Amino acid sequence: MENTTSTRAKVTAPGLLAWKTEGRKIVMLTAYDYPSARLADRAGVDIVFVGDSLGMTVLGYDTTIPVTMEEMIFHVKAARRGVAKALLLADMPFGSYQASPEDAVRNATRLMKEAGAAAVKLEGGAPVAATVQRLTQAGMPVMGHLGLTPQSIHLMGGNRLQGAGAAEAERIIDDARALEQAGAFAVVLETIPAALAREVTAALTIPTVGIGAGPYCDGQVTVWHDMLGITPGRAFRHTRRYAELGREMEEAITRYAQEVRDQTFPGPENYV
Ligand code: KIV
């Protein structure tokens, strides 16, 4: 398969605005380290996203709540070394922006200055609009995140569909408009009905990026471990598994262990 890294243009946050009018879909994928970011970039992913989902996928937490700024910075730095053309987007972890816009500016600055992110993402609508405005005024591109917002899992009572009722749907549309007005360059829509995602997408001039929000968004985001079959258990409804790497890795490691034990590895080709 052709690798187009050298011929592709660098993806920028403001550049994505035109993609919406052109009908060009945005491909966003999580990656949490150098090899995964490099592979995603080489495969032509537009936004390499170091999500706080790394709390579950990489660090083994139950939720995204415990993820710290230090953990995010560590992983964004690693991913940065693998990215050439994609936009490197970093999640702001729980507690890094909720208390005040000043906290948000300080922490987003760290993600961009120390770690090398080109944009940040935070969760919430109208209540964080002032923060989004402060960040963009400080020169930092911000992606919003509405619908199922995993940092509020305890308030929401679990990972469930959002925006199913009329009042909730109205609130999500208002929140999306508030984020756009505050200067966000795009908005993630997570686990909301496809018809609502379509309405939000039509209401905004900035792109929407869906996960579990149907086909009408301006782009899609997927979690690395989900699409590659590394997440244990059954695939989520919104995920398509493009590979079963978890199974393949386990089989390979089992074979390696077996061959060490039965002394068929190393073989004559492995040493001088
Ligand atoms: O952290 C993450 O991976 C996310 C996506 C689910 C959008 O926020």
Residues 6+ apart with CB under 8 A from 6: none
pLDDT at 184: 98
Mutation to probe ligand 1, out of 30, 45, 153 (largest number of atoms < 8 A from CB)? 30
209 CA to centre of ligand 1 in angstroms? 11
Atom of ligand 1 nearest to the CA of 52: 1
**Do 100 and 135 meet the contact criterion of CB atoms below 8 Å apart?**
no
What per-residue confidence (pLDDT) applies to 236? Answer: 86
What pLDDT score does 234 carry?
83
Task: Give 260 Cα–ligand 1 centroid separation in angstroms.
Answer: 39
Q: Are 122 and 154 in contact (CB under 8 A)?
A: no
Q: At what angle do helices 101-113 and 129-137 cross, to 10 degrees?
A: 50
Angle between helices 129-137 and 166-182 (to 10 degrees): 20
Q: Report residues of the chain scoring pLDDT below 50.
A: none
Cα 194 to ligand 1 centre (Å) = 18
Write the DSSP assignment of 59-116 as a string of letters.
T--SSSTT--HHHHHHHHHHHHTT-SSSEEEEEPPTTSSSS-HHHHHHHHHHHHHTS-
Closest ligand 1 atom to residue 209 Cα is 7
